[in-house]
Chain A
Amino acid sequence: MKRIAIAAVAVLLTACATAPQSKYDWGSYEQSLYQYYKTPAEMNALVASLDMTIIHAERSKHVVPPGLYAEYGYLLLQQGKAQDAIVYFNAEKAKWPESATLMNRMIKMAEVKIIGEVRQ
C-alpha cells in the first residue's frame, strides 16, 4: 500500500509538468540576434551562431527552424558571399514552401549582385 502511495505521488509530481516539447533546436538564436542588434559590428558572431545551429540540427537529423537558412543566407549576402547565399535561400525554399515568394526575390537580389561583380 505504501508503495502505491509513493508511486501515486511520483505520478502526481511528473504528470503535471507537461512542458510542450520543442519542435526545433534553436541553439542560441534569440540571444545571438539580440547581441547583434546591440553591437552590429559583431555580425560574425551571429553568422557563427547560425552556422553552428544549422550544422547541429542537420547532423542530428533535426529540422532546421523556419527562417534560419534564410537569416544565414542574408548575412552571407551582406558579407558579399552571394553565391553561398543562394544555396541557403534555396534550402529555405525547399524546406518551407511558404517562403517561396520571398526566397525567389532574395535569389534574384543575390544574382544581380553576382552579375554586378562580374561586370566590374
Chain B
Amino acid sequence: MKAILQRVLALAAVAIVVTGCATPTPPPHNDYTAFRQADPRSVLVVPVVSRSVDVDAPDYFLSTISQPIAERGYYVFPVNLIKRVMEDDGLGDANLVHGSATPKLAELFGADAVLYVVIERWDSKYAVISTTTTVELSYSLRNGKTGDELWKHSETMAYDPAGGQNGLLAKAIVAAFEKAKPNYIPLAKSVNGLSVARVGRGLPAGPYDAKYKTDQQQY
C-alpha cells in the first residue's frame, strides 16, 4: 500500500512539473510589423509629461527607465546628459517636446527611435497603517525617421510599501518610515520593467540581445 501511495505521489509530482510551467496557448501578441520594419537599435528618452501633482514622479521615472530598455538589447541614450543638453537647447519643456516633430529631434541626437512617456497618474492614499500609491504610465515609441508610432503601451499599478511585511506592528513601522521618506524606486522599476519586458506586449529583443530577430513567436 505504501509503495503504491509513493508511486502515485511521484507520478503526481511529475505531472505537476510537466504542466506547471507550460503556458498552453501563448496569448496573441501585439502587431509588431512597423517595429520590425523600422528595426531600431537606439532609444532616446525625452522629458516625461506628468499629469500628477507629485513632483518626484518624473525623477523616479527617469532614473529607472534606462535599465529595462538596455536589458532588452537596445542602446539607450544617457538620460541625464540628454535631459541637461535638451534644457540647454531650449527643449526642456516636456509638453513642447511631445508636441513637436520626432524626426528633427531624433536627427539632433542620431536616435533610431524616440520614447515619449506620460505619467497619467501617480498618487498616494494615506491610511493609518499603510499607504497605497497608484500609478499609470503611457508609453509611445516613435520612429526617428518618420515619426510613426512603433510601440504603444499603458501600465497601471498599485503599490503598498508595507505589502510584503507580516504583522500589524511591522506594517505600522514600515508605514511610518515610508511616510517620512518614501522610496518609490522599486515601484518605478516595476512599472518600467513590466511595460518594456512583458512577453507579447513589450519591446522585442534588440540588437544586443541573443534573441534578436528570432523572437517572432513571442513578439
The finding on whether chains A and B are genuine partners in a shared complex, rather than unrelated, reads yes
Contact call A26/B67, Cβ cutoff below 8 A: yes
A residues contacting the other copy or chain, number (CB 8 A): 38
Contact call A9/B13, Cβ cutoff below 8 A: yes
Contact call B71/A20, Cβ cutoff below 8 A: yes
Contact call A30/B78, Cβ cutoff below 8 A: no
Contact call B6/A70, Cβ cutoff below 8 A: no
Closest to B15 in A: A8
A66-B70 contact, Cβ under 8 Å, with A33-B63, A106-B81: yes
Q: Give bound CA distance, A12 to B64, whole Å.
A: 32
CB distance from A89 to the nearest CB of B (A): 10
For window 171-190 of B, CB contacts with A under 8 Å fall at: 185, 189
Mask: chain A, 59-98; 1 = CB below 8 Å from B; 0 = not: 0000001111011001000000000000000001000101
Contact call B62/A67, Cβ cutoff below 8 A: no
A8-B75 contact, Cβ under 8 Å, with A30-B185, A33-B80: no
CB distance from B17 to the nearest CB of A (A): 5
Mask: chain B, 1-26; 1 = CB below 8 Å from A; 0 = not: 00100110110011011001100000
Tell whether A119 is near chain B: CB-to-CB under 8 Å.
no
Residues of A within 8 A of B79 (CB): 33, 67, 71
Q: Give bound CA distance, A5 to B59, whole Å.
A: 50
Contact call A34/B59, Cβ cutoff below 8 A: yes
Residues of A within 8 A of B189 (CB): 30
A15-B17 contact, Cβ under 8 Å, with A2-B10, A23-B70, A106-B81: yes
Closest to B6 in A: A1
CB distance from A56 to the nearest CB of B (A): 16
CB distance from B18 to the nearest CB of A (A): 9
Tell whether B139 is near chain A: CB-to-CB under 8 Å.
no
Contact call A74/B10, Cβ cutoff below 8 A: no
CB distance from A18 to the nearest CB of B (A): 9
Q: Interface on B for A, CB 8 Å cutoff?
A: 3, 6-7, 9-10, 13-14, 16-17, 20-21, 41-42, 56, 59-60, 62-64, 66-67, 70-71, 73-81, 84-85, 109-110, 112, 185, 189, 197, 208-209
| A-B contact list, 7 entries, CB within 8 Å | A2-B6, A5-B13, A8-B17, A12-B17, A65-B70, A102-B77, A102-B110
